[in-house]
Amino acid sequence: MGVNNHHETFPWKHIVGFIFSLLLTFAALWVALSSGLSAGAIIGIIVILAVIQASLQLFMFMHMTESDSGKIQTINMAYSFFIAVVVVAGSVWTMSFVL
């Protein structure tokens, strides 16, 4: 049942993760709106910021390292990675034919 295991300590990890996520998001916003870089550079930078933020959230919020079943985590991550590649690469490939 949905009983929370009570951690008595303050959730520092979550707060720090949250603040860093905000920082990274605003950084991306700034790069896109007011950095004045070329479109290619902007896309490159926000992709990198996005990957950093995704990994940050996996470790800070998603208990990546706390699970007792490493196997499920591995399958899960591999499948997520597969879907992400399919969605992105598949879209780019298909849409490259649109003028």
Partner 1 sequence: MKWSEFFVTGEPLIYAADVAIVLTIIGIVFVLTYFKKWKWLWDEWLTTVDHKKIGIMYIICAVLMLFRGGVDALLMRAQLTAPNMKFLDAQHYNEIFTTHGTIMILFMAMPFLIGLMNIVVPLQIGARDVAYPYLNALSFWLFFFGALLFNISFVIGGSPDAGWTAYFPLASNEFSPGVGNNYYAVALQISGIGTLMTGINFLVTILKMRAPGMTLMRMPMFTWTVLITCVIIIFAFPVFTVALALMTFDRLFGTQFFTMANGGMSMLWANLFWIWGHPEVYIVILPSFGIFSEIVSTFARKRLFGYKAMIGSIVGIAFLSFIVWVHHFFTMGAGPAVNSFFSITTMAIAIPTGVKVFNWLFTLRKGKIRFTTAMLWSLAFIPNFVIGGVTGVMLAMAAADYQYHNSYFLIGHFHYVLIAGTVFACFAGVHYWYPKMFGHLLNERLGKWAFWLFMIGFNICFFPMYFLGLMGMTRRMYTYAAGLGWTPLNVVATIGAVLMGIGFIVFCYNIYYSARYGERDMTGDPWDGRTLEWATASPPAHYNFPVVPEVTDLDAYWAMKKNGNGYEVKEEQLEPIHMPSNSGRPFLISIAFFIAGFGLVFKWFTLAIIAAIFIILGLILRSFDDDDGYYISVDEIKRTERLARKGA
Binding site for partner 1 (CB under 8 A): 1-4, 72, 79-80, 83, 86-87, 90-91, 93-95, 97-98
| C-beta of 65 vs 69, nearer to partner 1 | 69
| C-beta of 36 vs 92, nearer to partner 1 | 92
Cα distances (Å, whole numbers) of residue 71 to 31, 42, 57, 68, 85: 38, 37, 20, 9, 21
Q: Select from 32, 93, 98, 84 the least CA-distant residue to 54.
A: 84
| C-beta of 2 vs 36, nearer to partner 1 | 2
Residue 43, CA atoms < 13 Å, CB-side half-sphere: 3
Tokens for 82, please give them. Answer: 């597969």
Give the nearest distance from C-beta 28 to partner 1 in angstroms. Answer: 15
Give the nearest distance from C-beta 66 to partner 1 in angstroms. Answer: 14
Give the nearest distance from C-beta 55 to partner 1 in angstroms. Answer: 17
